[in-house]
Structure formats: C-alpha cells, structure tokens
Structure 1
Amino acid sequence: MHHKKSFSQKLVRFWKKLGPGLVTGASDDDPSGIATYSQAGAAYGLSTLWTSIVAFPLMAIIQQMCARIGIVTSQGLTGTLKKHYPKPVLYLMLLFSFPAIVLNIGADIAGMGAVGNLLFPAVDATYFSVFFTLLLLGLIIYLPYQRIAAVLKYMCIVMLVYFVVPFLCKQDVGEILKATFIPEIRFDKDFIAILVGILGTTISPYLFFWQASVEVEEMKHKKKHLIVDKKLVHAINKDVDTGMTFSGFVMYFIILTTGSVLFKEGIHQIDTVEQAASALKPLAGNLAYLLFSIGVIGTGLIAIPVLSGSISYIITETFGWEEGLDKKFHEAKAFYVIIALSLLLGLSLNYVGISPIKALIYTAILYGVTAPVLIAIILHISNNKEIMGENVNTRTENMLGFVALAIMAASAGILLYLQFAS
C-alpha cells in the first residue's frame, strides 16, 4: 500500500507548491478590507454574501494575467509599462498609487494598533501601532526573500480563524444559501456604495504590481532558468486561484459573521475593525471576539509587507534602481528605504489627524479610479504579441477581463458620483 499517498503527504506537497498566489490572496483581506466587509455585514445582514462569488473569477483572472506578465517579461508591471508605453501613463500610475497605498498602510497599522489595545487594554493603541511598524520593518529588512515568503505563507494559516467564527453561534442554513446564490441589489445610495467598496477592496491595484514583481523574484530562486510553457502557466494559475479562493472565503465568512451576529442584534453601524471585534464580544462570546481580533493582526502582518513592497517595486522600477526582497539592504538601499518610508508615512497618518475611517474612504476612491485604467493596460499587455509572444490571453480570459474592466469602470463612475454629488 506504500504507493498510495496518505492525505497528509498530499497536503504537504500541495502546501509546498503554493507560492506568491496564496500570500497575494491573503493580503487582499487586510484590516481595511475586513473593516469594509464588517460594515457590509452589519449594515445589510447577509445581502452582500453573493459578492464573494462574483468577485472571485474577476480577481483571479486579473491576478493570473499579472503573474503571466511577470514570468514572460522577467520584470514587474511597472518595468513593462516603462518599456512599452508612454511615460505619462507610468507617472499617472505612480501619482495615484503612492498616496492610495500609503493611506492603506496607515489604515491597516491603525487597525492593528486598535485591536492590540482591545486585547491588552493596559497598553495604548499607539504603542501597538509603533510596535507593529518597527517589527515589520525589522523583518522585511533583515530576512531574505525566501524566509519572508515562508513566514508570510505560514501567517496565512491565522486567517483560518474566520472560518470558525460564524459557527460559534446558531445559523440559518437556508437563509445563508439563498443570500449566497441569489444576488440582491438595492438601488439606494448606501447599498451601492458598499458594493463599490467591496469591489474596490477585493480588486486592488497594489495586488497587480505585487503579483507580477513577486513572480519575478520566485523565478530568480528557481535554480535553472524556467521555460515559460503551458505547464508553468498552468501551475501559476493554480497558485493564483488557490490564493484568490482563500481570499474569497475569508471575505465570505467575515460578511457571514457580522451579518448573522451584529445585524441580527441591531448593530448596523460599524466603522472600524475594532468596533466589529468589540461588538462581537457580548453577542458571540469571548472566543469569537478573540479569534476575530487575532485574525485582524495576522492579516495586517501579511498585508503591510505586500503593500509596502508593491510601492517600492513601483518606484524602483520607474527609476531603474536596484530592487528586490532577495537583495540585502546594502545591495538595494533605495528599495528598502522606500519600504521604510511608506511604513513610517502610514504610521504618521494617525498623528496628523487623518482618521483610519477617512483613510479608508480616500483609499477606496483612489483605488477605484486607478483600477479600471490599470485593468485596461493589463488587458492590453496580455494581448500584445510583441511582449507576451505565445502567452497572450485566451478568449475566455479576455471575456472575464473585460467583464472585470466594465464592472470596475462602472463602480468608479458610481463612486465618484456618490462622493461628489452628495
């Protein structure tokens, strides 16, 4: 019977094969994302559960394109843009991406600090924020890429806590199934705003840059030069799909938790992750509260290196500086200095009076505006034979890509209208 692999061996093999896709997926559910999903659940119950199913193919297809651009061109998205597209396109991306990502980092650091303070009330939230910032900075600079990748991968296990939380209280399965598979859309301003917010936080531009750049890093670490063939593309697509499935489930279970616990108890206004965690405590018990809080800190520790890494890849590739998490600090000073600056700028937002809630709203608007433009560019690159050779998009990939583009463009229009019409 020795030829029959045991389940645990298969699981270990599967785990070893997982690469950047898993980390990208997990970082998509960062503390600010969790705040958005919690707002949706608290305000509208289970009405937005279906969005996780709709968002999945759109997220996955765009990330697959980004990963393929990385492995085919051996450079990140910014490098490809710089080489094949007009300079203004590149600088516009930089102009929008930088503030959006810094605001996102700020909101995440504040969220982690606030949740740290909930778990240990004797310690002020700002001390936790500073502690997490310095911890991350130390790890990113000190650890080589392979170790960072491994640490982030294991951190993803923390996210499994969200799969437990909803089952700590009684659920109506029929109601859940209905909300999952029958979309409900209400044509009121707040509901549409929440839908747009959910899309904006799941299909985030920083993930596009990160995915392409980090695939290049992965390629460097495979000792022999890999041939980009169907088999490699298939393996990378599988990795991306796994990460995005994971991300979609986490999003689903957070909406389920807040929608079935907070909404039912009449708590409809949640602005921050710590509010969501505190509200769960009396209703779903200490364990739910504890797991939810640990999840927030875990996701922050995964997402912030991804956010700061993507901003650094964007800037260093734009100016042609040495880059890469596999390099030591003295080999790529600019790369690490940008990471440090983005973390410190994010941390400082809490002191200059930009509240995490405001930071979230601004981030959503900036992401919302840049996402459609970026998706259009990614589609263009992915269909460009000069750049991609044989690895251009298939018809199905283009179809899904254009659906993602249309939905994100419509969301951006609605978002801007809601923001400036009110």
Structure 2
Amino acid sequence: MSEDILQFIWRFRLFRQIPLFTRAGLPIRILHPGDWNQDAGPDFQRALLFIEDIYICGNVEVHVSAKDWVIHGHHENPAYNSVVLHVIWEGEEPCYLADGSLLPSLNLRELIEPDIVCKANTLLQNINPIPCAYDIKNVPMHIKVQVLQRTVVERLEARYEQVKILLHETQGDWERVTLILIASAFGMKVNKEQFTALSRVLNLKLLKKFAHKPQLIHALFFGQAGLLQKVSGKESYVQELKKEYAYIEKLHGLDSLSPYQWKFMRMRPANFPTFKLAQLASLYTHQSSWFSWITTTESLEEIRYFVDNLEIPEFWSNHYHFEKESVGHSTAISKDFFHLLVINSFSLILFSYGKYMGDGNLVNRALAWLEQVPVEINKLVRPYKSLGLPLESALDSQAVLQLWSAYCEKKRCLHCGIGASIINRI
C-alpha cells in the first residue's frame, strides 16, 4: 500500500462504508471526502462528516501508518489543527493535534477489497510508456473524451502562465508578446531561441512606420537579425537591403544580433533561417498589428487567406539564403506550417488574452480555432491514436501532449480519469 493509492481510495470512497466506526468505536458517516489538495497542507480539504451524530466540516489527512502523523511533524504544526479525521491503512498509535486534542482515526485496511489495491498496483507498476495501454480499450468513450477536454485546457492554461511571464518582461506589451510567439514558431526547434531573441530587439515603432513598404520591412528584419553584416551578394535585392538598413540603423541607433548564432546545418533548405525570416518579414509587411487582428477577427479563414496571398520578394523564389542561387521553388507558407502557427501562436494569443481579460468568448474562439486544424501526427500522438483515443483535431492532439507530459510520463495514473476508470471498474 502506498499513500497515493490510499488517497485515491479515500477520494473515490472505494471501501465499505456501512457500518463505519472510528478506531475509538464512534459511528461515522462520510457525506463528502473533501477536495483533494495537491499542494502543501492536509490531503483533503472541506470534508463533510457525521461523527457520533455531530456534523463536522474540516480537513482530512491520509497516511499509510498511524505513526506517520508524528514522523511528518503534524502534531507540532498548528496548520494541521483544522484536521478532523486521520485516515490510515494500519497502526494503533494515538494522534494529537498541536493544540493537544485527540484526533479521530479511521482504519481502512479491513474495509478495502484486495482487488482494488491489486488493480492500482498493476496500473502503476506497468512498464509500458502509456501505463493504461493494456486496458484502455475497455474505458468508456465518454471518459476518454472528458480526459481530453480537461487536459487540453490544462495545457493552454500552463502556456498562458508562460505568456504572463512574457507580459511581465515586456511591461504588458501584448503586441511585443504576439511578435515573440509568432517569431518563435518560425524558428521551430533549431532556431527558436534566435528568432525569439530577434523578436525582443525588433523596433515595433519602425514596423508600423514602414507598413506596406516591403523593402524597408525586410531590411529591418534581416538587419536586426545580423544577417546582412557578412553578406557579399551582388543582386540588387541584397544590395538594397544593406543600403536601407545601414541608413535606418544609424538614424535610429538599432541593436542587431550576431550573424554567427544562426544555424543552417542539417536542415532542409526550406527551413533555413534566412528563408523563414523572409516569410516572417512578409507577414508583417501589410499587417503590423497582429495582436489586434487576432483578437478582433472572428474568422480563422480570413487570416488563412491573408497568409496564402503573402507577397514575398521574387529573390526568394530561387534562393534559400543570400549567397547561393537555388532551383526555383515556392515561397508560400505551407498549409502544415500555417497549422503550426495557429497552434503555437494564434490560438495561444487568443486564449491568453481571453483569460487575462476574463472574456469567455475569446477563450471559446481559441478552442474553436484549434478544432479547425487537423490533428497533429507525431511520435507522441501516434501511440494514443492507435489505442483508440478519439483524436480528430489539433485540440485533441494538444490534449494528448498534456496527457503524456503531465500524467503518463510521470506515472500519475491515479490523477487521471482513465486510470481511475480502470481501477474503479467492477
């Protein structure tokens, strides 16, 4: 028996409850076991009990052994004076509160069916990366759907906490935060840090001033990225960029990144930072306030149409970087990459601003946008799909990523509705 399993059993009342007596022989009825507290303090809060016909509201502490009360120092901690019941697996030691009161105890060992403990241990000790894989097919579909609905919100709320950190760092500048999120998506894994660093130094006032002036916008992006410093290309596009940036850099005292931090090795040319930066700069050429647009438009299709019709300089149709010409290719942002932008920036901005402003409509719109994007298929999502989870959109695949990182990988099966269903099933 582990404390986690005993807490789980108490939470779902998986033990015989009639008749029920404390260790001192007092009759007890459990109206509500309390809310499971996963932070510091008693394990369950606001429990409702009847002990010897006295209505009691308070906290409950759960231990495998009665002596754990003293071992954990609860007998000297006034914060535990609110505990009204000590739930244990075994032991006879009396437990006292810090104020000297004797604490009622309830021993569950003889009240629990061995099959419950066996099921819990089978689940927790399973070596499969997805511990419930052996029995998930027998879990009712509505429970799987509920778990996905909960975990996708958990993931978005966790990412909202990261957005709040960015807001603090930028003194509440939502437009800057939006640029950071969009730019980091363009950087993908290899150049994410570099694109993020660029988004922090880019001059937003100049972005707005240069709106609808592609040459100046591109000069600003490539110049502040440091990618024009060592360029020796003779093409007029390249020479114009260098000329324009040299002027605005001197005029406005702009900061630039080092050209040596950008990574090109072991990448597909279409993912070279120069090519992705050309697409990002074009994104801001005719739309300098992405935050305002994202939070005011109702239609994701409107944004999709704009992205599909971006005007990217002709130079990039036969180049992936400044120095070498390549075979002709499309410069358009692909459908798959647009979906990544929706997942990693557009919907996240919308959700975060909705949470920040307390606007449920914005939150619901963010979820709806994720539902309009196809499910992501990768090495983490694929196994869950093969196990029969109903994965139909990016909303579901984002839920699965949270399910893996917060539950399956950490063996937190007792905190998951799917795990609970496996253990509870008769």
TM-score (norm 1): 0.21
Structure number with the bigger relative contact order (C-alpha 8 A, sep ≥ 6) is: 1
Which structure shows the higher helix fraction? 1
TM-score (norm 2): 0.21
The structure with the largest alpha-carbon Rg is 2
Which structure shows the higher strand fraction? 2
